[in-house]
Amino acid sequence: MKRAIIFVKGRVQKVGYRDLVAEIANSMDICGVVENLPDGRVKIIAEGEEETLKKFMKEIEAKGEPMIKVTGMEVKWTKPTNEFEYFDVKHDDFQQEAFERIGIAAVYLRSINKKQDMMLEKQDMMLEKQDQMLEKQDMMLEKQDMMLEKQDMMLAKQDENTSVLREFRDETMERFDRLDAKYGKIADHMDKILDLLTEMVNKK
């Protein structure tokens, strides 16, 4: 067990830093106290296992917290006194604390509103992209309709060509039938003439 006396510099007063430190300490089973100093620093007395205290000091750097900015940390290691049963926050004058918490709430509210505005802006961007995608989809469907229309025209021409070919085939077959009938009769006449000539030659 060890005791760490920590002095934290930066934007650490009137921003809810002490409550954050207490929350982290209690989650890690660290005993002690945190208080504001007149010079703008925050003083923390923490008792626990050395490794746990080192992790605690990394956590109370409060990286990622929008309103808190830790710029420096001075640590003194001493022997534990076991005077603390839990981790506590040493408050100032009640009225001053009340005004401070109202100020903290207002600051956090502004931060939340800012984040909400950013989220709404991103949502608008997403909706704009969605509109662009729908517009492209409409263009694709329009092109698809044009392709189907051309396909229908090609099929219509194909049907027309097929009809012309059928007519040509039927006419050709009909003409062949006529020629066959016509030339068939001529052939019969030629046969009869040949028979008569043969008969005349035989008589002589």
* Active site residues per annotation: 18, 36
3-class DSSP string for the chain = CEEEEEEEEEECCCCCHHHHHHHHHHHCCCEEEEEECCCCCEEEEEEECHHHHHHHHHHCCCCCCCCCEEEEEEEEEECCCCCCCCEEEECCCHHHHHHHHHHHHHHHHHHHHHHHHHHHHHHHHHHHHHHHHHHHHHHHHHHHHHHHHHHHHHHHHHHHHHHHHHHHHHHHHHHHHHHHHHHHHHHHHHHHHHHHHHHHHHHC
| Contact residues for 90 (Cβ-Cβ < 8 A; gap 6+) | 33, 34, 35, 36
Burial of 194 (0-12, 13-18, 19+ CB in 10 A): exposed
What type of residue sits at position 190?
Answer: M
